[in-house]
Amino acid sequence: MFTKILIANRGEIACRVIKTARKMGIATVAVYSDADRDALHVELADESVFIGAPPSRESYLVMDKIIAACKQTGAQAVHPGYGFLSENETFARRVEEEGIVFIGPKHASIAAMGDKIASKKLAGAAKVNTIPGYNAAIDTPAQAVEIAKGVGYPVMIKASAGGGGKGLRVAYNDKETFEGFTACRNEARNSFGDDRVFIEKFVEEPRHIEIQVLGDAHGNCVYLHERECSIQRRHQKVIEEAPSPFLDEATRKAMGEQAVALAKAVNYQSAGTVEFVVGKDKSFYFLEMNTRLQVEHPVTECITGLDLVEQMIRVAAGEKLAFTQAQIPRKGWAMECRINAEDPFRGFLPSTGRLVRYQPPAQTMVASMPMPENGGVRVDTGVEEGGEIPMYYDSMIAKLIVHGVDRNDAIAKMREALNAFVIRGISSNIPFQSALLAHPKFISGDFNTGFIAEQYPKGFSASAVVHQQPAFMLALAVAAHRRRLGRAAGLSGQMPGHEYEIDEHFVIEVIDAEGRRQHTPVSVLAEGRTFTVKFAEASLVVTLNGSLRDIAVHGDVGGKPFCAQIERVGLKYRVTHDGTALEAHVMSPRAAELNRLMPFKAPPDMSRFLLSPMPGLLVDVAVQAGQAVSAGERLAVIEAMKMENILLATQDCVVAAVKASRGESLAVDQVILEFR
């Protein structure tokens, strides 16, 4: 076994590998860029080596620097994590040539699976299901019909040079194939100057389901069941779970056996993932193989009880797998939510900056440690409170993982954990995750890869989520206010006869974006930490635990436990629960009466300005003062989290002034241009 390994990565996955190495008694070496000098993975590792400037192409992607760090520290092996160099065949080969062990598959296996065309040919040779189709150009409509019959309806007729939805038809019968072929050829010729058309099987209501495999250097290979990864936004996974609510035992076994057959065909020696697209009829077809550890590996660890990082290290050290296929359990249900630094209410734009508050929910499971009997909550992260989310890398803050006895238990645990996850200073996608978990179709397991696009066609907004119990949200606000007044009344040193007295009657004011006021009169009776909140037609009994400074408040309502976030913002209380937020002003009836007379201050009109929609680096300003621009014309480019975001003019206008310069780091809503 190795005595020291280097982790050629950063953030969450570097911290995850360090935990397992520490358990195994292996010393660890971290590498870091300028942006990560104070990062958690550097703090946790036994040693650390500086490897360059913040952009990954100057640090984490420079093979020579990683190899030099291994030699400098005497690391015998390197774990690549995921992303960066993890699936780089050249890096794996160079590491091996330098006498360092690559904790992952052999470079030949990476190369074989990295080529999409070659990998599908290999899959076909290994008798793995691939999407049926005819990939040569088709000459006539009649030939197209014969091919479609052979493939089996429905089929997809696609222009070879297609894109943007042009030259694409789905056909369910001979007539639609005949007509669709001609239409596709014409569209392709007119749009792309290339009329070649091919046909492949159309997978209806597709799901993305992947099989975790594990192979050693002694010819042993097993599958560790499946992960359901169909909840995706723009092809990026959002929620993953294991097992899949869709598969039956026969399909699960068939997919697992085919994944193992493919892994054996390339002599696969490590943890890897074979991805399939699965149709509504449970037909399944090979997509690709990821020759690395997946982001979502914790859900597999939960249901099997195996530490996948440990297995990778043991296999790399030459050990045999210590179990057979029949000995791999499948216990309970696990889910993972990716907590990202992005603003779901601004089109999921990146959000960088300092974590002013970072308080994850209480953890009862820890990566690399044995699974608790009744499951629980685990947080894999690479950040801590006060840390910085830099603009140079991906947007992941943490992975929130839960394990329950069944799917409903896992959903309930996840919703509660999301309610308790406090992140301030930057925006996160927690409200969106909460909304997804509350969606009836998700709860029933009735979804596919198009779920998010279908359910939120105009994007995600606060109005897209309505709390099931609005009175509960109001009750929390008024109970929190009454609790704060109770502390004020109990302060010592008050003048005798003039002590602070609390009336039991209040009015809760909520103002919408247009300035419309909603007033709800309530009365509150307090007994210690328990508050009976009486509305006109109902009452709720709320108990609040913890201290007044806690943002994540645990308690119970009507005898049922809950966790919500309550904080005082100016004179108001902001209450957040199950993905919805409420700002309420709690006051006396007389104050509410006077407050009605106050004019509503509308937000200033900022239509004359181009504002930065996110924090980021201004890499280009494409216009200058005095220039007339047309709607749709490029104005500026902002780089954040490995993505370039192009800002376009929404209407014809003239640039009055340029307020920010190229190379400047922008804050959210900072003015870039002024128009006239």
What is the tens place of the pLDDT at every residue in 246-271? 999 999 999 999 999 999 999 999 99
Domains of the chain, earliest start first: 4-103 (3.40.50.20), 133-201 (3.30.1490.20), 207-459 (3.30.470.20), 470-595 (3.30.700.30), 609-675 (2.40.50.100)
- Give the separation between CA 145 and CA 142, rounded to whole angstroms: 5
Nearest to 7 by CA among 40, 35, 38, 34: 40
Give residue 157's Cα distance to chain centre.
Answer: 33
pLDDT confidence tier of residue 534, bands split at 50, 70 and 90: very high
pLDDT in tens, 637-656: 998 876 778 899 988 999 99
**DSSP-based three-state secondary structure for 398:** strand
Are residues 542 and 476 in contact, defined by beta-carbon separation less than 8 angstroms? yes
Q: According to the model, what pLDDT value does residue 117 have?
A: 67
Give residue 195's Cα distance to chain centre.
Answer: 39
- Helix (H) or strand (E) run with residue 437 in it: helix 430-438
Are residues 434 and 418 in contact, defined by beta-carbon separation less than 8 angstroms? yes
Other C-beta atoms lying within 10 Å of the C-beta of residue 407:
17
**DSSP-based three-state secondary structure for 661:** coil
Torsion region of 232: left, alpha or beta (phi above 0 gives left; psi -120 to 50 gives alpha):
beta
Are residues 166 and 159 in contact, defined by beta-carbon separation less than 8 angstroms? yes
Q: According to the model, what pLDDT value does residue 73 have?
A: 98
Q: According to the model, what pLDDT value does residue 373 have?
A: 87
Share of the chain above pLDDT 90, in %: 75
Specify the range with the lowest mean pLDDT, choosing from 399-403, 459-463, 630-634: 459-463
Residues 6+ apart with CB under 8 A from 165: none
- Interval 129-150 mean pLDDT: 89
- Which is catalytic among the residues 58, 146, 179, 288? 288
Are residues 295 and 223 in contact, defined by beta-carbon separation less than 8 angstroms? no
Are residues 131 and 201 in contact, defined by beta-carbon separation less than 8 angstroms? yes
Whose structure tokens read 């690395």? 292
pLDDT at 469 over 90: no
pLDDT in tens, 35-73: 999 999 999 999 999 999 999 999 999 999 999 999 999
Q: According to the model, what pLDDT value does residue 627 have?
A: 94
Are residues 337 and 414 in contact, defined by beta-carbon separation less than 8 angstroms? yes
Q: How many residues does the chain have?
A: 676
pLDDT in tens, 330-346: 999 999 999 999 999 98
Q: According to the model, what pLDDT value does residue 616 have?
A: 87
Are residues 345 and 56 in contact, defined by beta-carbon separation less than 8 angstroms? no
Whose structure tokens read 């949200």? 473
Residues 6+ apart with CB under 8 A from 349: 342, 343, 613, 614, 640, 645
Share of the chain above pLDDT 70, in %: 99
**Residue 210, amino acid:** E
**DSSP-based three-state secondary structure for 629:** strand
> In 547-605, where does DSSP find H-type helix?
589-595
- Give the separation between CA 239 and CA 296, rounded to whole angstroms: 9
Q: According to the model, what pLDDT value does residue 604 have?
A: 84
pLDDT confidence tier of residue 165, bands split at 50, 70 and 90: low
Torsion over CA: 194, 197, 198, 199 (sign): positive
Specify the range with the lowest mean pLDDT, choosing from 142-156, 313-327, 464-478: 464-478
pLDDT confidence tier of residue 164, bands split at 50, 70 and 90: low
Q: According to the model, what pLDDT value does residue 162 have?
A: 63
pLDDT at 525 over 80: yes
Phi and psi for 627 in degrees, rounded to 5?
Answer: -80, 135
pLDDT at 489 over 90: no
pLDDT confidence tier of residue 242, bands split at 50, 70 and 90: very high
Whose structure tokens read 């479609």? 148
Specify the range with the lowest mean pLDDT, choosing from 432-441, 462-471, 644-653: 462-471
288 is known as an active-site residue: yes
